Amino acid sequence: MTDISIVIPAKNEAENIEALLDGIDAAMAGHDYEVIVVDDASDDGMAAVLAARQAPHLRVLRHDRSGGQSAAVHSGVRAARGAICCTLDGDGQNPPGELPKLLAPLADPAVGLVAGQRVGRQDSWSKRYASKFANALRARVLHDHTRDTGCGLKGFRRDAFLELPYFDHMHRYLPALFTRDGWQVAHVDVSHRPRGGGHSHYNNLQRGLVGISDLMGVAWLIRRRKKARPTEVTR
């Protein structure tokens, strides 16, 4: 049985995907793992690149239409065979060599999520500033004690993830959602690198507009969480 499933949400990453997969193979040597690339309706030839790759542990899912990063992660986790899932972005900015850092904290059965925290981000000034503002606002509202929820490097228990309420853009709120369900969240510092090719699929305005309504929705979910916990009484 597969122990670990590496889920990669990817759209139009034909220029980056092969190097990323090579890096994952090197980083996960010695582990029982599978890699699931979720092709979010790419039209840049990435499907052909993946079809030509000879790798027995590689699985490819393809969306019939673009659903966004959270939809791709959700599809990949549902298909995963591993009890532990790790994610990283398909653009190659998350170094695969950081994946082992996500595994050790999950040896504690109380930890449900390990969230990577980028150090030395290799993004534009405007993107870093917008992210810093959004993270500060989110932390103030949700009290999730996480400085960087946008980092694609995350590790979590598959069954716990699938218990979370699904909504688009949920990947940015996983620390708050796991905490809501009673799990501990661990944080590890990870490196970051420039995009190798292609271009980002989102801009700061797009992120900001959806972020406001998402933030209010997650705050509502936390307030309305189930608070009673049953204890079986034997007779």
The angle at the Cα of 157, spanning 155 to 163, to the nearest 5 degrees, equals 120
Please state the rounded mean pLDDT for residues 77-93. 97
Check if the beta carbon of residue 2 is closer than 8 Å to that of residue 82: yes
Q: What percent of the chain has pLDDT over 90?
A: 66
pLDDT tens-place string over residues 138-194: 667 787 888 888 899 999 999 999 999 999 999 999 999 999 999 999 999 999 888
Is residue 205's pLDDT more than 50? no
Question: pLDDT tens for residues 92-132?
Answer: 999 999 999 999 999 999 999 999 999 976 555 556 556 66
Token reading at 152: 């694609």
- Asked if the model's pLDDT at residue 45 lies above 90, the reply is yes
pLDDT in tens, 56-75: 999 999 999 999 999 999 99
Task: Cite the DSSP H helix spans in 113-197.
Answer: 125-142, 158-162, 174-180
Say how far apart CA 208 and CA 13 lie, in whole Å.
24
Q: Are 10 and 40 in contact (CB under 8 A)?
A: yes
pLDDT tens-place string over residues 220-232: 888 888 888 788 9
Any idea how long the chain is?
235
Query: Is-contact 8 35, C-beta < 8 A?
Result: yes
Query: Which residues, in sequence order, are CB contacts of 224 under 8 Å at separation 6+?
Result: none
> Could you give the domains of the chain?
4-223 (3.90.550.10)
Residue 158 pLDDT: 98
